[in-house]
Amino acid sequence: MDEFDLIQRFFAMQPLRRPDVSLGIGDDAAVLRVPDGQELVASVDSLVAGVHFIETMDAEAVGHRALAVNLSDLAAMGAEPAWALLALSLPAADEGWLAGFARGFFALAGRYSVALVGGNTVRGPLSITVTVHGFVPRGMAITRAGARPGDHIYVTGESGAAAAGLRCWQEQGMRDPDDVLLRRFLRPEPRVPAGLALRGIASAAIDVSDGFTADLGHILVASGAGANVSLESLPLAAAAVERFGRETALRMALSSGDDYELCFTVPPQRLALFETRRRTLDCAATHIGEINATRKLRCVRQDGSDWAESAAGYKHF
């Protein structure tokens, strides 16, 4: 099976068709149409075996994950997903692996009406690069730079579950795909509906991919602001607390990545609108602190003491 057979068999015959795709897979490039009044939002992520996912992970979970982490970036910007490009580096054309990968990728793509419009395949170490494109009404993209003193800080879902799931895999040999922690690691859920609901409400947002403090820190740097966060309010994953204890679960949430929840800020004047709209979210959203003018992040325990441990988050270099 050569690369053209591979593309035709596993990727060209996707079930989804979009009217804004004039020309998709099969030519030198895709031809796409951006709707009137919309801006194009684009993001790209590479997943390298042994760095971003475990080589022995189920291929279907890898396919899901490869798209999910990119959709999470669109969610943080308040963008509606539309198109994807896929570049695969494969050590061999393993038909079983490719079939599983395609199932996971297209199952998630179908949920959010994402059309695969092109890409590339090469022989080499296992690596996956996905580029996603989405739409946002002109001037409505949510960025990291809009937080202001007095804004309220929220985070969606639960924190620390993915890191706990990875630890279960590494230390306990757990392979039950239905385990709640392991599933959060293997199949992260992009908060696309939440991101769409936050348009016109959130002053800033980011997806929590590298650890809560690191990612909130990106908002603070971009916004030229500081924050006080109540660690008691941080919604730790209940299963992680039960399995590893509160202190370890808290450490995982603050410094480990892969949760792909949204951390966002809401100005006081928009709180009433947020409370009305939050019922349309696909997940919980918990108030955890406030933005201030200090340009420093302070994480406070229930007794009033500061979190003193390093929580730098994941860094590639």
Q: Tell me the CATH number of domain 3-137, given options 3.90.228.20, 1.10.10.10, 3.30.2000.10, 3.30.1330.10.
A: 3.30.1330.10
Task: Measure the CA–CA gap between 272 and 120, rounded to whole angstroms.
Answer: 47
In sequence order, the 6+-apart residues with CB closer than 8 A to the CB of 287 are 152, 153, 154, 233
**Residue found under tokens 């909130």:** 216
pLDDT value for 5: 78
What is the CATH number assigned to the segment(s) 152-300?
Answer: 3.90.650.10
Q: Domain residues of the chain, as ranges?
A: 3-137, 152-300
pLDDT value for 312: 56
pLDDT value for 313: 53
Helix (H) / strand (E) element for 169: namely: helix 161-172
Q: Which of 144, 142, 145, 137 is nearest to 40 (CA)?
A: 137
Residue pair 24/118 in contact by the 8 Å Cβ criterion: yes
Low-confidence ranges of the chain (pLDDT < 70): 1, 15, 172-174, 177, 309-317
- What's the pLDDT tens digit per position in 141-200? 999 999 999 999 999 999 999 999 998 888 766 677 678 999 999 899 999 999 999 999
pLDDT value for 18: 92
